[in-house]
Structure 1
């Protein structure tokens, strides 16, 4: 049984199956013109639907291009709940070595990811806004085994007291050892 027949309990009445199995049909120019007239509205509806779908896609599509030697974030786990490269759902910062095709780039991966192919599709990359050289290396910060580190006060930059209805709240702006002035809290 054909899939259409199984779903709708009747035979498909396409130009190929308009006649029954035992029926003999005369094929002539009238038959061809009739088939063309039935196919024309179908094509018009398909074209309308395709243009609607294209308009939906074009709104969300972004044409991303990166330059060689730029820094980009790589989403190393594109599917939810899938563990790849030992990390889950993280964005990691990598350097672009070269452009491979119209939509793929080769990244400079660390030695622990040597088994991973270095070419990635542009949809997995995100532009790095800012200067990655300002990132403090982890070795300088002395990170402990439980992934914490100790902040050391360098200087108190500002003090202020905010008055609320019933109380006063004191705020102090502090510059920490491993932060820039913009990172003060």
Structure 2
């Protein structure tokens, strides 16, 4: 049994100053990420720098000042950053006072029409504030205008 259990085991160790990605589990940490589709939620945030090693398996990270989570994590939540051109989200999602994620649209990158039932629906490719262009999402124009009435498309 030990042989098969150790087959999946990976030795990881980080030094102070190393860059790592932080694995956040949105179904467990609802104060960090709240979305309707957890399957498509980002799993890794960062990169963040290791500030200190706490014991054998815990590390303290240099998180952004707006994050509302404790900066010490078990090694199983960390993934080493490889290479210098990795495109990832550098900021944790913005949170409201109640702990829910508050994304605000910045601009419309593309517009399009799709058929939904017997009617045509306008879809927008929305760039969200604080996120790069490759994290833009397709949303119905009516739902965006309902949620954000002051948004100028």
**TM norm structure 2:** 0.49
Q: Computing the radius of gyration over CA atoms, which structure comes out larger, 1 or 2?
A: 1
More helix by share: 1
Higher RCO, Cα 8 Å, sep 6+:
2
**TM norm structure 1:** 0.41
